[in-house]
A and B are shown apart, each in its own frame.
Chain A
């Protein structure tokens, strides 16, 4: 009797977990193993895969292209990450006031977050049109000759950064806003009594207490930046002259345009290693600057 009850409980647990377990085993566990296996093969998806050992990895690491896309990705990160953090904190501080209009402002900053990247990237391609787009038209009003943006290998990546800032600032602004709102107002009151200036309060109270949020945003934005994709696909397709080629765009092209499944898989594992090492590095470095309230 007791045994059958236990058996029944096991069946119940199993049935509750079944959908998740099934999808997890196939699309995560098996998939990860399969991808790892593929990365050691040469496979055109039609004939049988050939085992080629580490040659995909060594070919990638010895290719000029790899170092170029790594450089492009790091360039994007160097521009995007500091700017998105600064702007988002700014937006969060502006939204962190009591005002009747705040709901409207919140919504305005949030609409780009709601749009799909495909729609947003198409829009930005058009906004940045050198002759017929409004951005260069506005620059002209101030007497600044606008660049060719996406058609210029120097300006294409900054243009993508610009579009990403517009799209993401509302999202990270909201995250920083919840960080700001969790700071105890007593700190500011005490500082004010001590005669601390606004800047001192920001420097000595806001920043340290916001540092865990900054750390969190830093981690997410780095992971996302390594996997930059729709912006590039819609706005430049990697051009001009490969100046915006990035990991995901290459992986997509190798796998689904040239059907080099093994090479593409190896690329995805190299990308994983970069993301992993970068994340670990940030975790170890956080001790030096992230302040956790005891």
Chain B
């Protein structure tokens, strides 16, 4: 029995390591490619580990494109979208969870129904709306639609409902305003869910492609995914350059993941809902 156990353990690890190998191999290839010079790209047989390690591709990347700017833009845009998105959702969720009024459930229902409409339908009109307000190529325009986040409202409403009414009543008796209750009672008690939404919204915003692609056409305003897709078109065979760019775009999100793994996994599992 014990022997059988250890055999199946060995089989298990062999399978796991083989699978992990296939998952990691592409990333390994990304890293080594970014350290190659142009000549090594077309070497046959292929160089798994570059014979000559160089960081020229990184240097060139920043020369031919305002890539540092793109990185900074991505930080600004993703942080703004995340803050706006989560904060606005917190405010609405508080009402839907704790302040009853006539027609509240109906309004929530209407909010939920729009989840059925795929983003592809609203893409063109939203672009046109920004255009008519002269908000194309602006971060304000890019961020505006994020003020409505039904997924965040839904998740926060669930967690805020768990907060006992006594906490709120006690604050009311003390003469606290709804805003004060919101900031001093509701927000602190919803921290785990807020953290979860924060990391997954940040990741979504950091990686978002289609919406920034159509809103931001100015080279100096582009976020990383848009900048990368532009480089992909212009330098389509200079893979050391492209892989250097891709690598830079991945690192921050992996750092966030390293520090907030639990929130990531919880959020994304629940976030499957969002699709």
Contacts and interface: CB of A to CB of B under 8 A. Distances in A.
A31 B118 contact: no
A143 interface: no
B20 A105 contact: yes
B268 A23 contact: no
B220 interface: no
A91 interface: yes
Contacts of B122: 27-28, 31-32, 35
A116 B242 contact: no
A256 B101 CA distance: 43
Chain A interface residue number, banded: 35 or more
A151 interface: no
Interface stretch (A52-60, A61-69, A73-81, A170-178): A170-178
A23 B144 contact: yes
Contacts of B170: none
Contacts of B124: 35, 38, 251, 255, 261, 264-265, 268
Given A12-B178, A26-B129, A268-B124, A127 B29 contact: yes
Nearest to A170: B23
B235 to A, nearest CB: 11
Contact of A252 (B12, B84, B210): B210
Chain B interface residue number, banded: 35 or more
A32 B128 contact: no
Interface in A106-128: 107-120, 122-127
A132 interface: yes
Nearest to A221: B275
Interface in A223-279: 223-224, 226-227, 229-230, 233-234, 247-248, 251-252, 255-256, 261, 264-265, 268-269, 271-272, 275-276
Contact of B269 (A137, A175, A223, A269): A175
A90 to B, nearest CB: 9
Q: Which 9 A-B pairs have the closest CB atoms?
A: A23-B147, A116-B207, A23-B148, A119-B246, A34-B125, A20-B92, A19-B88, A31-B125, A118-B225
